[in-house]
Structure 1
Amino acid sequence: MNHPARLARWTRLTGACALLGTLVAGAAIPATGAFAASPGVRQSPAAVSAATGRLPVLDPAALRASIAGLPDGDVTGALLRVTGSAGAWTGTSGVGDLTTGAPVPADGHVRIGSVSKVFTAAVVLQLAAERRVDLDAPVQRYLPRVLPTGLKPMTVRQLLNHTSGMPRPAASPEFGDGSAEWFAVNRSASFTPQRVVDLVKGQPMAFEPGTAQQYNGINYFVAGMLVERVTGHSFAHEVRARLTGPLGLRDTQVPDAHDTRLPAPYSHGYLTVTGADGTPAPVDVSRQSPWPWSEGGMISTPSDLDRFLGALIGGRLLPPAQQAELFAVPDVPSYRNSQCRTATDAGRACMSAGLMRVKTEEGVVVWGKTGSRPGYTSGMFATRDLSRRVVYALNPRTLTGSEFRLIPAMVAAAFGTITPTAN
């Protein structure tokens, strides 16, 4: 989450890639085992068939070719991890450090941006399973005097699936102008979640709650605040106790609000910034505030994200009723939605509680999430039966989304054809 201009840009970019995308040259690796679904989670034969019947054969040559030429003016480096019973491959491309020329680490730490929302949704759904949160109850019941007065009642479920109609935040000078130059200077700035939520005060609702879907990071700031209010613990504590600890995700963390470090190994993130003399040059922004918090501030690695997504989709983290929420996409229109922009969406919602659904033109359905931070773009996706799981990370030098040119060939090789629309 950020100043509205920058915030809108990151939100728009994470959805523009719609799915997966990117990278990498490298060597094949042995396939790793997929998580098995728990006995209580049933997947219909039709759903499994739709996810696997037309899955393309994994093509390492196509994966390598899709990111040939890195580093370039848009992207310094990339990594990709493909696992599952339908084939496995991993590799890297470009450089991880422009100063030393060191390669991209195959399992390096990355800032995962809005992929953090999947962790947030999982925690809230666990609280729902414990009957500590009612998904159909108004958010205002759990957070009195937190949301600005005048906002219509919206349910917890509507926060998670972006049908709340929550307003966009108003402009504020303290959040900058959305430029690379501003971020390079102010990358350590941190703000409280309440300060961000206060920016919607006086803004009109985007639509009546429950009648449309619009991707809005404010929803997940509020969801994180709800977790803290209900449990009495920090959001970071709940993620550790419920998700990263039990799954052994040692390289996944919710950093302290003022901790700008990125654990080694990692690929450096850069932004091309125009100096006072008018000369553009790369600025290392690897160290930056993680303040987007439950909305987008987490750090992880490809192997941890693969393990987490496998456990989540495989039914290891949620009972059946809450597991169903992961795949319950509301039947409502997509309203100026940065995420649902493929030909198969046809102007309808594509997001559930934490995840987004992407359907290829060949009929393959995948579930996952994308994320962006300055210097970092990432995502994780999988078929419902976990026969193919993909985690990727890029290091873009710009805030324009130019790194997404790498996506089409990679998506086609991993899952099938996806045609983006203007929506």
Structure 2
Amino acid sequence: MNARTRTRIRIAVASALLASLALGPLAGAAAAHPVAAATGAGSAPVADGPDTAALEKALAGLPDGDVSAALVRVGGKGTWTGTAGVRDLRTGAPALENARFRAGSTTKTVTAAIVLQLVAEGRVELDAPVTRYLPGLLPASFAESPTVRHLLTYTSGLQPGASLGATTEEMYVNRFRTLTPERVVATAVAKGPASDPGERQVYQNIDYTVLGLLIEKVTGDRYEHQADVRIFRPLGMRHTGFPAGADPRVRGPHHRAYADIGGRTTDVTEWNMSDRWAAGNMISTTADLERFLMALFRGRVVPRPLLDQMLTVPDVDGATYGMAWERYVHNGREIWGKTGSRPGYHTVLAATRDLSRTVVYSVNARSAREDGFPLVARFALPAFNR
């Protein structure tokens, strides 16, 4: 098989498979019996390429009891793409390779890139206190202001702000309510610090919500527009952006998303997630995110010296994150990745520093907001098996 040969598999799943989903009624109607299709394609296998057999196995049999659809793109030395499952459990319509989805906390990688661009322009200093750019942000209970670097590396010591629920069930009841970033930050700083800046690394949204406010203050522009003109447009990410305000819809071609609410599989596609904002409200496609990932690691988004700092874990006990990105080691290979999870959606961006292997996926799963490692192990790690 030569390097240009494309292989494609198509797996028909019997309608009886739907029974394993244990679906409760959706919007009061009986669910249809979908027939899923899985397709995978790539260059001819190479000895140190992705584990295509494991990737194909991961897609086979969708939808299953958890995952309704999966989109996977593998790049680097040996490429592979796969699409499996259904875009709607009612109709059984097959999954779309170009589907848009809620990208969750992978938004943070874009926010960090914008801040580092401002650093490169001399408009922000990494080790300056955030109060230089957001005066009046912190009350007197803070003896020391975290720096911009602390926020980027999740070492600010801030406490979480107000939320619309701690569990998917609680959030679902409030899914059409609006909680502004300003309100989230105000409630966080009102609690006082959880620790001194730089003392501990705690992954949380509040740091990147503050960074979104910093971007707006420094540029005098909306965060969403800055993301568009600095990242999305220059890189040709034509299908990436943010909902308009509190708009709960995913515009354009997309899959329905499902979560377990009160023991019932419930459609959670429509959801106002504006409270996640610069920390997690982006909507994108796997092709667009792959484009961003490749450009970033090639030094086209932020200058390489700042990229080096972005991909450096701070000297803090137990730290695993640099700026937005987390460092993993799999089979002795260093990988930098970022996950994103929202009800019904799980997203991964991951790559070796030299881009010899990259993977981007979007998975619609009921377990998306639970421990995401089983999804990562199933749909992402096979790309790095060898």
TM over 0.5: yes
Matches of residues 35-50 of structure 1 in structure 2 within 5 Å?
Answer: none
Contact persistence 2:348–2:376 (CA under 8 A): no
Q: Determine the C-alpha separation between the residues in 2 that align with 1:249 and 1:88.
A: 20
Which residue in 2 is equivalent to 1:27? 40
Contact persistence 1:56–1:414 (CA under 8 A): no
Q: Determine the C-alpha separation between the residues in 1 that align with 2:233 and 2:350.
A: 22
Q: Determine the C-alpha separation between the residues in 1 that align with 2:166 and 2:65.
A: 20
How far residue 59 of structure 1 moved from its aligned partner, in angstroms, is 2.3
Distance of aligned partners of 1:383 and 1:214 in 2 relative to their CA distance in 1, 3 Å threshold: same
Equivalent position SS for 1:271: strand
Q: Does 1:290 align with 2:290?
A: no
- Of stretches 377-386 and 303-312 in structure 1, the one that deviates more from structure 2 is 377-386
The higher-RCO structure (CA 8 Å, 6+ apart) is 1
Q: Does 1:370 align with 2:339?
A: yes
Of 69, 77, 80, 2:69 maps to: 77
Contact persistence 1:120–1:224 (CA under 8 A): yes
Structure 1's unaligned 5+ residue stretches are 1-23, 32-54, 275-279, 335-348, 418-423
Equivalent position SS for 1:299: strand
Distance of aligned partners of 1:262 and 1:412 in 2 relative to their CA distance in 1, 3 Å threshold: closer
Contact persistence 1:252–1:304 (CA under 8 A): yes
Q: Determine the C-alpha separation between the residues in 1 that align with 2:303 and 2:104.
A: 27
Equivalent position SS for 1:72: coil
Q: Determine the C-alpha separation between the residues in 2 that align with 1:400 and 1:157.
A: 28
Which residue in 2 is equivalent to 1:302? 286
Matches of residues 20-419 of structure 1 in structure 2 within 5 Å?
Answer: 25-30=38-43, 56-84=48-76, 86-151=77-142, 152-169=144-161, 175-274=163-262, 280-291=263-274, 292-334=276-318, 349-360=319-330, 362-398=331-367, 401=370, 404-416=373-385
How far residue 250 of structure 1 moved from its aligned partner, in angstroms, is 0.5
Q: Determine the C-alpha separation between the residues in 1 that align with 2:133 and 2:323.
A: 18
Structure 2's unaligned 5+ residue stretches are 1-36
Contact persistence 1:74–1:403 (CA under 8 A): no
How far residue 296 of structure 1 moved from its aligned partner, in angstroms, is 0.3
Q: Determine the C-alpha separation between the residues in 1 that align with 2:118 and 2:369.
A: 37
How far residue 398 of structure 1 moved from its aligned partner, in angstroms, is 4.2
Identity %: 44
How far residue 271 of structure 1 moved from its aligned partner, in angstroms, is 1.8
Contact persistence 2:361–2:380 (CA under 8 A): no
With normalisation by structure 1, the TM-score equals 0.77
How far residue 108 of structure 1 moved from its aligned partner, in angstroms, is 0.9
Q: Determine the C-alpha separation between the residues in 1 that align with 2:217 and 2:372.
A: 38
Superposition RMSD in Å: 2.2
Aligned length: 346
Distance of aligned partners of 1:59 and 1:166 in 2 relative to their CA distance in 1, 3 Å threshold: same
Distance of aligned partners of 1:156 and 1:403 in 2 relative to their CA distance in 1, 3 Å threshold: closer
Larger Rg: 2
